[in-house]
Amino acid sequence: MTPARPAPTPPPDLWDRPEMAKALADRDMGQVLKIYQRWTGASQTQLARMVNVGQPTISGVIQGKRRVESLSLFERFASGLGIPRARLGLSDNGPLPSAPANASAPSPAVGVSSDSADERDDAQVPAGDIEDRRLTIDIEVAEDGWATLTYQRELYNGTATPLTRLSQELWFETTNGPLKIEPLPSPDRNVLIQRIHDTPLNARFACQIFPAIQPGESAEIGYRSTGGRFVYDHYWRQAIPRPTGLFVIRLRHHGVTTLARCSASEDKPDGSEISATESLSWDRDGDDVVIELTRRDLRPNQAVTLRWDRAHAST
């Protein structure tokens, strides 16, 4: 039996070399792999095992026939090759688990698009992730608490099948009946709202997408909801069901000029909670308060919560 080649060891300053620093800043993983190979002598099979993807994926990325676009796959490259996460614009939340050193075969790729469908090796590169590359929630609260919610997202299909439907759920503590939900105009898709289950406080529904978002494509979709009211508890908690690159909540509360409280938190996948106040800002705009919260590189099973409370006049 031929002994396995030792794992490649990059020079300590590899990530600081100008050509590598530029490739990382551009998120050009094909160039990153070429430079890594030049300085370490790593084979494509070794790279595939380190990153935990199929060898055809590594070959396609190096040849420029496949593009790394998925947050999950950027995470794998950073973890497997030891790339400083900040160089790829990733938050320092810790790397994803890499493949075992004695793995006999690499796992499937996640979130890779190909310029040539004929060159896709489906046995090696099956489904990946559906991702929110960008998710923005605009919350406009009237002085009496009635709210308008606007969800807008750039949705990326990293799977091997067309995406035709996206399940959603909304909940309010106070409503004036079933929540009203309408799709927003999209530059390249038509969206229909399919009601699944309604209660006075909760709405489960799906966004039906026409035409379907094909594998490797992304599209802008959105919807608006009215009929919910903030009365006692002023907060919004958003569950994160899929990888999310950029997450933004923008809130405008009319008729409020002073806040008694403003805070934010992020739930981690393991159930722990950390403060997100460092990425929170608020300001006055005439007779309104405007709050903005930004988070990056969120993973499934996380949640983000924004809390605010208007100052009440003392008696």
> Counting beta carbons within 10 angstroms of the beta carbon of residue 168, is it exposed (0 to 12), middle (13 to 18) or buried (19 or more)?
middle
pLDDT at 313: 56
pLDDT at 6: 65
Non-local CB neighbours of 307 within 8 Å, separated by 6+ positions: 234, 235, 261, 262, 263, 264, 265
The reported pTM is 0.62
Sole residue written with tokens 């091997």: 160
pLDDT at 123: 31
Three-state SS at 32 = helix
What DSSP element (H or E) covers 193? strand 190-198
pLDDT at 5: 56
209, 162 in Cβ contact below 8 A? no
Non-local CB neighbours of 56 within 8 Å, separated by 6+ positions: 119, 120, 121, 124, 125
Non-local CB neighbours of 122 within 8 Å, separated by 6+ positions: 160
Amino acid at the residue 256 = V
Q: Supply 192's token pair.
A: 């229909």
pLDDT at 312: 65
Exposure letters 257-287 (e unless 16+ CB within 10 A, then b): eebeebebbbbeeeeeeeebeebbeeeeeee
- What percent helix, strand, coil does the chain show, rounded to 5? 20, 45, 35
pLDDT at 103: 36
Rg (CA), the chain: 23
Give CA 195 to chain center in angstroms.
25
pLDDT at 124: 34
pLDDT mean values, one per 10 residues, the chain (315 residues): 62 90 91 91 85 79 82 86 89 49 35 35 48 95 96 91 94 92 91 93 94 90 96 92 94 92 94 94 93 94 93 59
| Ordered structural domains, the chain, with CATH | 14-119 (1.10.260), 130-310 (2.60.40.3140)
What DSSP element (H or E) covers 45? helix 44-51
pLDDT at 127: 40
pLDDT at 112: 40
